[in-house]
Amino acid sequence: MPELPEVETIKRSLAPRLLGRTILAVEVRLPKLLAGMEPAALARRLVGQVIGGMDRRGKYLLLELAAGDRVAFHLRMSGRLVLRAAGPTEEPHAYLFFHLTGGEDLVYVDPRKFGRLYYLSAGEKLPPPLFALGPEPLGADFTPSLLAEILAGRRGAIKPVLLDQRLIAGIGNIYADEILHRAGIHPRRPAGGLKEDELRRLYDAIRGVLTEAISYRGTSKRDYVDGEGRPGDYQERLAVYGRADEPCRVCGHPIRRIVVGGRGTYFCPVCQV
């Protein structure tokens, strides 16, 4: 699933190329992608609108229109948003096309068909999935003290807490494992039981891992590519995720895989206590 670094990379790759483009036509090949709207209604709303920019909120990609409306994409498991030359495509999982001025199409591709599109009129409040998101972990308001408040009193394991989008927005399975390894914290540790120095290490790891992953344009383990169709490079630098039985890059002990909160979890039993 694309996480914060991947969605941020898509945003950065698309934003300068979409700015000022006009949407000439909309083609929907999988109506269930649209949340609460029929394809004809989406086309009526979008055709003729000028793209004013792009933004990101957690794992959501926001296409901002000059008139004030917004289109929110949730890529879910396998969604991809790419810009390519206009014309017929042999891509079997291309389900949504925004035909743009300049001879290009913005195409939504989704092999697993789990993604969703939300249309937000100017001034309209974010829908519940977006409205409930926690703070941005790379935002200025995300501080060590705020992280301590989020974790205080929580008896559950730290990894599911990191994955809870209502508490912190944007972290998924890959980066939760990487963050906890960098912080030296076992994924089953009670979230509310971390000591002050561990909280600081966790905070630094959250910011450090996500920033580093963005600099390498995200992790391509399966379907993910950026807005220009290019895979990311961070998979070459993963410390634990997907590396069961391989040596830890820090201590050399074999990485283990367990299940925490229903999610496959990779960690080093020596470095993470």
Active-site annotation holds for 2: yes
Question: Does residue 51 form part of some domain?
Answer: yes
- Give the Å distances, CA to CA, from 250 to 67, 110, 217, 247, 267: 51, 37, 23, 8, 12
Structural domain containing residue 39: 4-131
Catalytic pick from 3, 6, 8, 178? 3
At 231 the pLDDT is 93
| Strands across the sheet containing 104-109 | 23-28, 94-100, 104-109, 80-85
CA dihedral 209, 215, 217, 219 (to 10 degrees): -20
Size of the chain, expressed as the number of residues it contains: 273
Confidence band, pLDDT 50/70/90 cuts, at residue 68: very high
Catalytic residue from among 45, 59, 70, 80: 59
**Residues 105, 71 share a domain:** yes
Q: Are residues 98 and 155 in the same domain?
A: no
Last residue of a domain, one of 131, 152, 175: 131
Secondary element (H or E) of residue 201: helix 196-215
Q: pLDDT tens digit string along 81-102? A: 999 999 888 788 999 999 999 9
pTM above 0.85, yes or no: yes
**Apex CA 182: angle with CA 245 and CA 227, to 5°?**
90
SS3 assignment, position 137: coil
User: Cα–Cα distance between 171 and 175 in angstroms, integer?
Assistant: 6
Residue 65 lies in a domain: yes
Same-domain check for residues 8 and 120: yes
For the residues 68-89, what does the mean pLDDT come to?
A: 93
Instruction: Tell whether 103 and 212 lie within a shared domain.
Output: no
Running DSSP on this structure, what letter comes out for residue 125? Answer: P
**CA distance linking residue 265 with residue 249, whole number of Å:** 17
Q: pLDDT band for position 131 (50/70/90)?
A: confident
Active site residue 113: no
236 counts as catalytic: no
Q: Are 91 and 204 in a shared domain?
A: no
CATH number of the domain encompassing residue 185:
1.10.8.50
Clarify whether residues 166 and 209 are in a common domain: yes
CATH of the domain at 117: 3.20.190.10
Structure tokens at 129: 């999935």
Domain boundary among 131, 153, 181: 131
What is the number of domains present in the chain?
2
Instruction: With respect to residue 139, please indicate whether it lies within any of the assigned structural domains.
Output: no
Tell me what pLDDT residue 222 has. Answer: 79
pLDDT tens-digit profile of 4-25?
999 999 999 999 999 999 999 9
> Is residue 138 a part of any domain in this protein?
no
Given a contact cutoff of 8 angstroms between Cβ atoms, the answer to whether 248 and 224 are in contact is no
263 is catalytic: yes
Tell me the per-residue pLDDT of 218-272, one tens digit each, with 9 for 90 and over.
999 878 999 999 999 999 999 999 999 999 999 999 999 999 999 999 999 999 9
Q: Would residue 137 count as lying in a domain? A: no
In a shared domain, residues 115 and 173? no
Give yes or no: residues 87 and 161 share one domain. Answer: no
- The active-site residue, picked from 57, 249, 256, 263, is 263
Q: Is residue 273 part of a domain?
A: no
> What 8-state DSSP symbol labels residue 50?
B
Q: Do residues 19 and 95 make contact, with C-beta atoms less than 8 angstroms apart?
A: no
Q: Could you tell me if 127 and 148 lie in one domain?
A: no
Residue 33: what are its φ and ψ, rounded to 5°?
Answer: -65, -25
Rounded CA separation 253/266 (Å)? 13
State the catalytic residue, choosing from 2, 5, 135, 187.
2
Q: Which of 228, 226, 225 is nearest to 10 (CA)?
A: 226
pLDDT at position 125? 79
Question: How confident is the prediction for the chain on average, in pLDDT?
Answer: 96
Classify residue 272: in a domain, yes or no.
Answer: no
